[in-house]
Amino acid sequence: MKDENDFKLADCFLPGLEEGRYHISGTQTVTQPEEDSFSAGKDFCVAATPEQMPENIVFRVYPADRQRGDFSGTLPYIVFRDASYPWLRRWTEDTDGFRVPWLALIVVSEEEQPQEIDVKYEDIEKSKEDGVFFAYAKPKVPCCKPDYVIHLITLSKELCQKILPAKDELCWLAHAKYVDLTDTE
């Protein structure tokens, strides 16, 4: 028996088609009034825009923007309107059969002194410094205009090792919860 306080979590919620280039083709054979065959094909592209989050994709965040207080005993989160959003792209291989999301919420305080800069999309690869890990993979299909501004954050190696998950933990950076967003307060 289902309790109204129960909820289900899924390790991922995959999109219908992954990002990439596709070709679809079809053939129809008719026998009346005479036998004939017709074929058609079309190339198409499925693209995700990881560099810029769509304005309406976020349903809720916690803590709310500009909210102040002691949140040390709480877990921050983002709820997306599209449950498959964290898995729209592949940036690394699966971990033990589990799909790795391409994004995660990482909390950094001002005391940890992250360096922040804004860079035009066309210059993003030029901002990579020698000897610095740069978590950016050029998408298969570019989706941003060259003059879009991307916000980059640089963290120390020690901080990254402290707060970022190990490779075998990457698949747990996001999950899907089965909820009806129209049935919320």
List the pLDDT tens digit at each of the 185 positions of the chain: 566 677 778 888 888 888 888 999 999 999 999 999 999 999 998 876 656 677 788 888 898 888 888 888 888 888 888 888 888 887 788 888 888 898 888 888 888 888 888 888 888 777 777 766 666 666 655 666 778 888 888 888 888 888 888 888 888 888 888 766 676 66
- Residue 23's pLDDT is 96
- Residue 47's pLDDT is 76
User: Coil, strand, or helix at residue 132?
Assistant: coil
Residue carrying the six token digits 């035009």:
120
- Bond into 86 cis (ω within 30): no
> Smallest Cα–Cα separation from 135: which of 175, 106, 96, 98?
106
| Spatial separation of the C-alpha atoms in residues 170 and 68, rounded to whole Å | 29
> Smallest Cα–Cα separation from 174: which of 63, 98, 67, 72?
98
